[in-house]
Structure 1
Amino acid sequence: MNIKTLSLGGSLVSPDGVDVEFLGKFNRLIREYLEKDTQRKVIIVVGGGAPAREYQQAARTLRSDVHNDELDWIGIAATKLNAQLIKTMFYDLCLEPVVQNPEIDAFSQGRILVGAGWKPGFSSDYDAAVLAHRFGSEILVNLSNISYVYSADPQKDANARPLKNMTWGELTELVGDSWTPGSNLPFDPIAAKFAREHTLRVIVANGKNIENLESILLDKPYEGTLIH
């Protein structure tokens, strides 16, 4: 069985309202990929996107002493909404409920498994990493609105350069080792620790580039950052 695991950034699903055009292209690609080989399966874990950050910011405004766990639960609720939309889109291929606990739910039927956030303390990247490890995915594909991990924030540093290959230690130097609700990082530090401990490889790529995602799924040359 060939199982690919995708961490689908909420910024792709709902950057400012649901991006139906992107989802239509993503839908067609995944269906075509699965149709070509009956041994293929796909796990898709969905992030919270703009709704998560908007509601988290509202909570911070309404209450100055709001706890990080409370903010995480808000983000998790947003991931569940996005994940339910993805499950609905793949209604005939995703036959199980949206996975909310990656440690106990099984992938026993259907060709697609859709997951959402689990519990406070990390992002949906962590849930994707756990599922990738459980079901033997050699590579976890982290899809967002950036094409590479950069040496610095390119919006703040004109000298920031794209990195095509890096170690987990190098990523930790960039993103730190702790999680803050609503953080906009190339990969969750807690997920990075799990991936490092379980020798997972992660590709960070721009999900908007559907042709590039197809290349990744087919193990062809691609644009993105390989973390190992």
Structure 2
Amino acid sequence: MEEPVFKRIVLKLSGEALSGQTGYGIESQTIVAIAEQIKAVHVLGVEVAIVVGGGNIWRGIAGSARGIDRATADYMGMLATVMNALALQDALENAGVPTRVQSSITMQQVAEPYIRRRAIRHLEKGRVVIFAAGTGNPYFSTDTTAALRAAEIEAEVILMAKNKVDGVYSADPFKDPNAVKYETLTYLDVLNKNLGVMDSTASSLCKDNNIPLIVFSITENGNIKRVVLGEKIGTIVKGSVE
């Protein structure tokens, strides 16, 4: 019997992870493959909460750079995450996994409002919960949302699934052939070395609440399950290195 090392996790999926090789929009084959990976973890009895980004549809910072008011651009990005959440919910339920979407922006026709105690109850009942619309506030990233929700629901770890890299490197491995992959880091390392794993607000939240982060590649099938079973892949970021 496979024994998971985590009981409750937050899985952070970037919008780009849902776009596959296209880099834009939602690729059905990719989202189905991700749903199957999540199902493989769900059947082990792990309580899974998911935070999705929206970069495959819209980025608030990019919109702001084009002259759109920053707050407006960020709200547009939040709506993009709702689209991704609904697509992922559909793929999960087609795979036989009961799923609920909770949105930080109220939209009763398509999603539940985010209520912490209700989210925890869903998890306890064996439902996957997808947190959409970020924190509901402009100027905050979905990385910060993942850190905040993980603290609120008392998740044991944040799994940050990447679609281009398999961990945290000293530099961009696509630009610098001498880039070194880290196996273990502290949040102070991430902040001091400006490694770009997640923004400083998210890193500080994780550090202050002692929430470990595992950065790994989602493109290799079965990686989510490997991480949950305790296999050492990717990069582990935590408060201190023993």
Q: TM-score range by the shorter chain?
A: 0.7 to 0.9
2:224 to 213, 216, 221: 213
2:29 counterpart of 1:25: no
**Which residue in 2 is equivalent to 1:160?**
179
Aligned length: 213
What amino acid maps onto 2:226 in structure 1?
S
**Aligned partners of 2:14 and 2:201: how far apart in 1?**
16
Question: Residues 181-192 of structure 1: matches in 2 within 5 Å?
Answer: 185-192=196-203
Unaligned 5+ runs, structure 2: 1-5, 106-112
CA contact (8 A) 1:152 1:174 kept: no
Query: Per-residue displacement from partner, 1:172-196 (whole Å, max 9, x unpaired)?
Result: 12338xxxxxxxx432221111001
Q: Which residue of 2 aligns with 1:180?
A: none
Could you say which residue in structure 1 is the equivalent of 2:188? 169
| 2:235 counterpart of 1:225 | yes
- Aligned partner of 2:79 in structure 1 is 77
C-alpha displacement at 1:120, in angstroms?
Answer: 1.4
- Is the 1:148–1:205 contact (alpha carbons within 8 Å) kept by the matching residues of 2? yes
Q: Does 2:128 match 1:112?
A: yes
Q: Show the counterpart of 2:147.
A: 129
Report the alpha carbon displacement of residue 226 of structure 1 after superposing the two structures with TM.
0.5
Aligned to 1:10: 15
Question: Percent of pairs identical after alignment?
Answer: 25
Change (3 A) 1:89 1:74: same
Superposition CA RMSD, Å: 2.4
Distance 1:153 1:29 in 2: 27
Q: CA offset at residue 56 of structure 1?
A: 5.5
With over 3 angstroms needed to count, the CA separation of the structure-2 counterparts of 1:2 and 1:186, relative to structure 1, is same
Instruction: Please report how far the alpha carbon of residue 58 of structure 1 lies from its aligned counterpart in structure 2 after TM superposition.
Output: 5.2
TM-score, normalised by the number of residues in structure 2: 0.78
Q: Which runs of 4+ in 1 moved over 6 A?
A: none
Query: Residue type matched to 1:196 in 2?
Result: K
